[in-house]
Structure 1
Amino acid sequence: MARVSVEVENHIARVTLTRGDKMNALDPAMLEAIAEAGESLMDRDDVRVVVLSGEGASFCAGLDVMSFGAMAGKDPVELLEPRTHGNANLFQQVPLVWRKLPMPVICAVQGVAYGGGLQIALGADVRFAAPGTKFSIMEMKWGIVPDMGGMALLPHLTRSDVIRRLTYTAAPFEAAQALEWGLVSEIAEDPLAAALALAEEIAGKSPSAIRAAKALIGFAEDNMHDPDAVLLEESKVQAQLMGKPHQMEVIAANLQKRPAKFS
């Protein structure tokens, strides 16, 4: 059965988890499908922004319990340590592919985002959540640690004491608390509508500048203890944008008070 759908229209790719009857829980087929969906967009020059969502009552309830039982019989070293997707294994690629994409990713979350579901959402650039949405770093409930890229993503979003508390307890928390902790960007009555509205706004900006901005932000996050490197990268990126066709079209559109049109 299909686990993920990808639709591209007006330069926006809508990626939807389509296992709504199972709260979009992550079984092996779902993991493969999510990673493949993200990777299929990597070289799509026509896509300027991605909206990631889950059908049904919940965004993603985390790992499918039945799948967990099946994986428990495998050698964990052979299952987890090989780098099958660049710097990641499959489990890590499922959230990290959204951070690796060259275009921004906006995630709409409702119902629950537990365990792997939360880590998938954290891979997005921006997260809208419905009021009352429940989150959890759930892994400690099963006697394991977060292992789907969460430890590469969380330190950029919230404080160390928050990460430790949520990891040690596996306690659920709601959208309002997630917003306070920086794990949600905004609470919206209709998070998908909010995500699509932001996507339309971003899609109207210079495609080359948006991609350059995402790459530059990522570089700054990865080199926060080396400001000299960040400053130099900032200058290099700017030099590559100035005077080029996309920037010249932005200038012309602003002067003529019209929407920019990019080839």
Structure 2
Amino acid sequence: MSEPLVLVTQSGAVQTLALNRPSALNSFTAELHAQLLAALEAAAANAEVRCVVLTGTGRAFCAGQDLADPAVAPDLTPGATPKDLGGVISKLYGPLCQRIRSMPIPVIAAVNGVAAGAGANLALGCDLVLAARSASFIQAFTKIGLVPDTGGTWLLPRLVGRAQALGLALLGDKLPAPDAERLGLIWRCVDDAALQDEAQALAHRLAAMPVKALVATRNAMDAATQMDFGQALAQEAAVQRTLGASADYREGVEAFIGKRAPTFTDR
């Protein structure tokens, strides 16, 4: 039996998903898509999981789409029918991106090496991105005549602004992790040897927090990008009304008054 393309490990309330095609820099195939989506669905449905860490095995996080995959490799025969790349995006990448953005728990990307093309934007779609100092991010799409996908056209300008987003996307240059942190593209850059420990510590910290409120914060911030100030205030009121009726709110206030550590349980 071949080794799984996604390795799943559990430590307390934290589940780690590691892309596992190291010989191909963890590049995407249809089967890797299927296994990763299934692992995310299982984590979302498991009440014992309160945070997910997404990383890669070997020297890469994810090099994007495997261009040798028959679904995308162009037929070089004169007059051959072009491959439907839009269909691949809709069938595989769209559901994966939507699943990450709609997870009921926080998702951390621990970028251990190169994150290129779809791999870069897969990481950027997570809630928090930690990267090893030697890691890099590459918007490689224009190098093969394409536009950013995997949510890149939505994510990049929101993370770094239009000018930087266009520079990254049009030129496709390698962006070292320290520069990605400086631009605000990622949350934090750490020493290579510390990456996984830092990611696990952060994940355990988030898992002990009120994850329902963490997810509501993510959702409210994303929604507010399409709102005016008054609409954002109204949204805040609506979300606070819901969270104010939660067990976690009561627990948090009681713990604060009692000067003890809270135990949050909502999800």
Report the alpha carbon displacement of residue 37 of structure 1 after superposing the two structures with TM.
2.2
Deviation per residue, 1:29-55 (Å, 9 max, x gap): 112222222233333333222111111
> Are the equivalent residues in 1 in contact too, given 2:25–2:61 (CA < 8 A)?
yes
Unaligned runs of 5+ in 1: none
Structure-2 residue corresponding to 1:202: 206
Distance change in 2, residues 1:229/1:70 (3 Å): closer
Per-residue deviation at 1:139?
1.0
- The answer to whether the 8 Å contact 1:8/1:14 transfers is yes
Confirm whether residue 214 of structure 1 aligns to residue 221 of structure 2.
Answer: no
- Corresponding residue SS for 2:160: coil
Q: TM-score, normalised by structure 1?
A: 0.87
Other structure's SS at 1:52 match: strand
1:47 and 2:49 correspond:
yes
The 2-side partners of 1:69 and 1:94 are apart by: 17
Partner of 1:244: 246
TM-score of the pair, normalised by structure 2: 0.86
Distance 1:69-1:234 versus aligned 2 partners, 3 A rule? closer
Counterparts of 2:166 and 2:72 in 1: how far apart (Å)? 29
What SS does structure 2 have at the residue aligned with 1:53?
strand
Letter in 1 for 2:86: L
Distance 1:216 1:69, change over 3 A: closer
Question: What secondary structure is seen at the aligned counterpart in 1 of 2:60?
Answer: coil
CA distance in 2, matches of 1:82, 1:188: 34
1:42-98 Cα shifts (integer Å, max 9, x gaps): 333332221111111111112223116854246544x52588xxxx54123334421
**Is the alpha carbon distance of 1:123 and 1:142 closer, same or farther for their aligned partners in structure 2, counting shifts above 3 Å?**
same
Whether contact under 8 Å (2:72, 2:83) holds in the other structure is no
Distance 1:146 1:68, change over 3 A: farther
Post-superposition Cα deviations, 1:156-211, rounded to whole Å, max 9, x if no partner, equal: 20121111122212111211211122212111112222121111111111233223
Question: How far apart are the structure 2 equivalents of 1:227 and 1:68?
Answer: 48
Counterpart CA distance in 2 for 1:113 and 1:197 is 22
Q: How many residues are paired up? A: 256
Q: Does 1:166 align with 2:168?
A: yes
SS in 1 for 2:110: strand
* Amino acid across the alignment from 1:172: K
Alignment of 1:88-107 (within 5 A): 88-107=90-109
Does residue 260 (structure 1) correspond to residue 266 (structure 2)? The answer is: no
Note the C-alpha offset of 1:217: 2.0
CA deviations on 1:84-115 (whole Å, 9 max, x unpaired) are: xxxx5412333442122122111111220111
Deviations 1:140-170 (A, max 9, x none): 1111111222112212201211111222121
What SS class does the counterpart of residue 218 from structure 1 fall into?
Answer: helix
Partner of 2:19: 17
1:65 maps to what in 2? 67
Flag the 1:119–1:261 CA change in 2: closer, same or farther, 3 A. Answer: same
In the TM superposition, 1:92-131 aligns within 5 A as 92-131=94-133
- Is the contact made by 1:95 and 1:119 (CA closer than 8 Å) also made in structure 2? no
> What is the CA–CA distance in structure 1 between the aligned matches of 2:82 and 2:230, rounded to whole Å?
44
Two-structure CA RMSD over aligned residues (Å): 2.2
The Cα offsets for residues 2-48 of structure 1, whole Å up to 9 and x where unpaired, read as 11123344222211111223211112211222222223333333322
- Contact kept in structure 2, 1:103 and 1:214, CA below 8 Å: no
